[in-house]
């Protein structure tokens, strides 16, 4: 059985999840490959479709011409608005031609929906890392409401996708029931079969390190407690960094509580003697060290699917605090974290303050044991292999 994943990037949230899914299939003896747009990070079985910067620029120009007299002007406050048009004709790639099944992952600014779904003559899975496969250009529901200036293009792009989907043999996968439920109600994907399919993590690569060692690595106080926050981009409204910052300003911290911030963070936004920053951490080992150094990981997303960082934290035995929304509420419970019922600053402030004043006790070994039993790389690969095999047998 030959499987090809199509993904714009080999890294980032969706890219990392794709590579983990790819590795889970390799571990189960499946011939799995990944086609990315223009770089590979030298990962096993990953190939770039076209590494030319000039070709990417030509594709961008071509997309703008194709939508005339409409035009797209980027708004930095919008997390993403992606065209389904492209000059990357991925269906022609030899690995796609030879594949038995294609899994279309996060493909913004890469896949040309019209040509791909018209020309592909084999089973396709759409994997929902976000909502872009069933929106026109938007990636999440909140932005649909926040940016009415894109509605005309949104309808144009939805029409392009709807016509494209009608030409292919499609089924849908997503890691959270929350995402599946929304997709089933959508105009574009509501009529297709849906499957809940997790991606796995390697327990040998994402593991708990001795806390004293991890704290020394980041120059944190060895005594006391540590809160962890991961922020790739503070300005991303959906990720909730501004909610957390406002909440932290209101919390009355004790002297023995430190805050560790991983990612791009401007200390002028919120700073105190107990705030420590690491900058971006790119390796799984460094990230696992950060989770291990912490007593609680705060994930303040307003809207999210199945965040890698949540799973990584739990793999390291670190409990997670999150709002009761998205895929988080399907994973986090009283044994492995703290769920906040309302997406609101005061509710978050109250939850953090309660943790500071009366911290609950968690069993880190049990947290790790339970999450590995559900998200182990090999067992998730077995489940995906079985799903695909069953589908192929009906053809």
Q: Encode pLDDT of 253-275 as tens digits.
A: 988 999 999 987 776 666 678 88
Question: H or E stretch including 6?
Answer: strand 2-6
pLDDT for the residue numbered 273:
80
Q: Encode pLDDT of 362-377 as tens digits.
A: 999 999 999 999 999 9
Q: Which residue segments constitute the domains of the chain, with CATH numbers given?
A: 2-200+376-393 (3.40.50.2000), 211-374 (3.40.50.2000)
Say if CB 342 and CB 319 are below 8 A apart: no
User: Mean pLDDT over residues 137-158, rounded?
Assistant: 94
Against a cut of 0.85, is the pTM above it? yes
Tokens for 127?
């994997």
Ramachandran sector of residue 39 (left: φ over 0; alpha: ψ -120 to 50; beta: rest): beta
Q: Encode pLDDT of 99-140 as tens digits.
A: 999 999 999 999 999 999 999 999 999 999 999 999 999 999
User: What is the band of 314 on the pLDDT scale with cuts at 50, 70, 90?
Assistant: very high
User: Mean pLDDT over residues 333-353, rounded?
Assistant: 96
Question: H or E stretch including 231?
Answer: strand 225-231
Q: Is the pLDDT of residue 42 over 90?
A: yes
DSSP 25: H
């Amino acid at each position: 059985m030959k499987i090809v994943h199509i993904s714009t990037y080999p890294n980032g949230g969706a890219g990392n999840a794709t590579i983990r899914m790819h590795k889970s299939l390799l571990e189960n003896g499946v011939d799995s490959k990944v086609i990315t747009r223009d770089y590979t990070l030298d990962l096993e079985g990953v190939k770039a479709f076209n590494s030319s910067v000039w070709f990417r620029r030509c594709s961008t120009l071509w997309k703008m011409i194709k939508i005339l007299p409409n035009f797209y002007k980027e708004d930095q406050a919008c997390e993403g608005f992606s065209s389904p048009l492209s000059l990357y004709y991925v269906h022609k790639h030899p690995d796609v031609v030879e594949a038995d099944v294609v899994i279309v992952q996060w493909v913004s600014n890469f896949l040309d929906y019209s040509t791909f779904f018209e020309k592909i003559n084999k089973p396709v899975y759409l994997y929902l890392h976000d909502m872009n496969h069933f929106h026109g250009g938007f990636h999440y529901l909140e932005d649909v409401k926040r940016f009415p200036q894109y509605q005309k293009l949104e309808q144009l792009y939805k029409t392009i996708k709807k016509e494209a989907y009608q030409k292919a043999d499609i089924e849908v996968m997503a890691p959270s029931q929350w995402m599946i439920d929304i997709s089933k109600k959508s105009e574009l994907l509501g009529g297709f079969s849906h499957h809940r399919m997790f991606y796995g993590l390697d327990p040998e690569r994402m593991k708990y390190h001795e806390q004293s060692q991890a704290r020394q690595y980041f120059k944190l106080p060895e005594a006391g407690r540590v809160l962890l926050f991961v922020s790739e981009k503070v300005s991303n409204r959906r990720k909730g960094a501004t909610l957390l910052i406002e909440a932290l300003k209101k919390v009355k911290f004790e002297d023995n509580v430190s805050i560790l911030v991983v990612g791009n963070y401007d200390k002028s936004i919120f700073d105190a003697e107990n705030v420590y920053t690491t900058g971006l951490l790119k390796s799984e080992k460094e990230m696992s060290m950060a989770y291990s150094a912490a007593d609680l990981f705060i994930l303040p997303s307003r809207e999210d699917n199945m965040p890698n960082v949540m799973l990584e934290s739990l793999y390291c035995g670190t409990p997670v605090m999150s709002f009761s929304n998205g895929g988080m509420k399907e994973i986090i419970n009283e044994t492995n974290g703290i769920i906040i019922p309302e997406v609101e600053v005061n509710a978050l402030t109250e939850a953090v303050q309660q943790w500071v004043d009366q911290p609950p006790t968690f069993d880190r070994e049990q947290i790790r044991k339970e999450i590995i039993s559900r998200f182990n790389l090999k067992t998730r690969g077995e489940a995906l292999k079985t799903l695909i095999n069953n589908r192929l047998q009906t053809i």
